């Protein structure tokens, strides 16, 4: 059985991101990220979706022993992906009124901690 593809954001999901972007340095790995990706890779192909430079991201993944779990690193939304995991996303559940409220009230988790 072929595994479905999941796209996972890097900043704020796999690392300790607080909104202060440094293009030359990726923040430290978030506790539990290794175990999370290890287990997820048994069920899915994993693609890292990030605006960061691809080679820097691959180095960070390698330095944190995560590269073996990753199929690819991209900054392009992949139409083959079955789902996306991101700290700055709102799920559209078919109701525009609820979506509008969620958009107005949205804060990334790291801004409310």
Rounded CA-CA distance 40/88 in Å is: 20
Rounded CA-CA distance 38/75 in Å is: 22
Q: Which CATH architecture has domain 4-112?
A: 3-Layer(aba) Sandwich (3.40)
- Using one digit for the tens of pLDDT, what is the confidence trace for 64-79? 999 999 999 999 988 8
pLDDT by residue, tens only, the chain of 113 residues = 789 999 999 999 999 998 889 999 999 999 999 999 999 999 999 999 999 999 999 999 999 999 999 999 999 988 899 999 999 999 999 999 999 999 999 998 888 76
């Amino acid at each position: 059985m072929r595994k479905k593809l999941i796209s996972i954001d890097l900043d704020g999901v796999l690392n300790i991101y607080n909104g202060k972007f440094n293009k030359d340095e990726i923040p430290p790995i978030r506790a539990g990220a290794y175990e999370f990706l290890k287990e997820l890779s048994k069920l899915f192909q994993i693609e890292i979706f990030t605006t960061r430079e691809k080679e820097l991201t691959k180095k960070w993944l390698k330095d944190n022993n995560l590269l073996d779990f990753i199929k690819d690193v991209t900054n392009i939304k992949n139409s083959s992906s079955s789902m996306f995991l991101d700290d700055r996303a709102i799920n559209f559940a078919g109701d525009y009124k609820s979506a509008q409220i969620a958009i107005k009230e949205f804060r990334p988790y790291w801004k409310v901690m």
